[in-house]
Amino acid sequence: MRTLGLLTVLAVAEYPLDPLPRDVPAEGIDCAAIEAGLVTYEGSAIRLRPPARVHPAFVHHLARFERMVDTLARETYGRPPSAIRNGTFRCRPMKRNERRISEHALGNAIDVVAFEFARDPSAAPERRRAFSVRIDRHWSATGDDAVHACFLRTLAKRLAGRSDVFRGMIGPSDPDHHDHLHLDMGPWRFERF
């Protein structure tokens, strides 16, 4: 591992997508070739809505993320979410650097918009209703919704504290990510929640 400023570049052998160049080729991104190698992953512990279109190596990281979310949701709400609202594959360069390929274009990233909790008739009356914890609405929530802000910020803290789930993590502190959490396995480790 070597450090370049604030970014840490990891050893190439650690993850199958690390050796891929991230510069957009002169002829453009070959979206069809990339998409042909992706899989559809619906989630194992928590359903992904819509199902994720990702590189097979990324599935293991999504499964770890689901387990982390499941554990924290049970601690916070007494039950896991029924679904994670997200976006994954989108063949494009990065928004702020058109010369670099987005990790989304490689099927190597997920944008989490919300966590949905289905109605639970077996729960205590005050916990039965269905609800959604949205990044845009609850990241800085106060009052009755402060519990949702605590859930989201604790999730971000736990993600930042582990290197086996995701490497790249961006949240509402970045203006382009005010309404979602961007999580990826690009070759650089960084966190901006």
Q: How far is CA 91 from CA 39, 53, 78, 100, in A?
A: 15, 11, 38, 12
Please state, in angstroms and rounded to a whole number, the distance separating the CA atoms of residues 19 and 72.
33
Element (H, E) at 43: none
Instruction: Supply the mean pLDDT for the chain.
Output: 92
The model's confidence at residue 168, banded by pLDDT at 50, 70 and 90, is very high
Q: What pLDDT, on the 0 to 100 scale, is given for residue 7? A: 40
pLDDT, tens only, 139-163: 999 999 999 999 999 999 999 999 9
CB 168 within 8 A of CB 106: no
Quick one: pLDDT at residue 118?
Answer: 96
pTM for this prediction? 0.91
Q: Domain count of the chain? A: 1
Non-local (6+) Cβ contacts of 26 within 8 A are none
3-state secondary structure of 102: coil
The Cα–Cα gap between 124 and 107 comes to 40
Torsion angle in degrees (nearest 10) through CA of 60, 64, 69, 75: 160
Domain that includes residue 69, residue range: 2-192
- Do residues 105 and 29 touch, judged by C-beta distance below 8 A? yes
Q: Say which DSSP state 129 is in.
A: S
Alpha-helical runs (H) found in the chain: 31-36, 56-77, 135-138, 146-160
Q: How do residues 60-97 score in pLDDT, each as one tens digit? A: 999 999 999 999 999 999 999 999 999 999 999 998 89
- The pLDDT-based confidence of 4 (bands split at 50, 70, 90) is very low
Give the span between the Cα atoms of 115 and 86, in whole angstroms.
Answer: 9
Q: Which tens digit of pLDDT belongs to each residue from 104-138?
A: 999 999 999 999 999 999 887 877 899 999 999 99
Question: Which residues have CB under 8 Å from 33's CB, separation 6+?
Answer: none
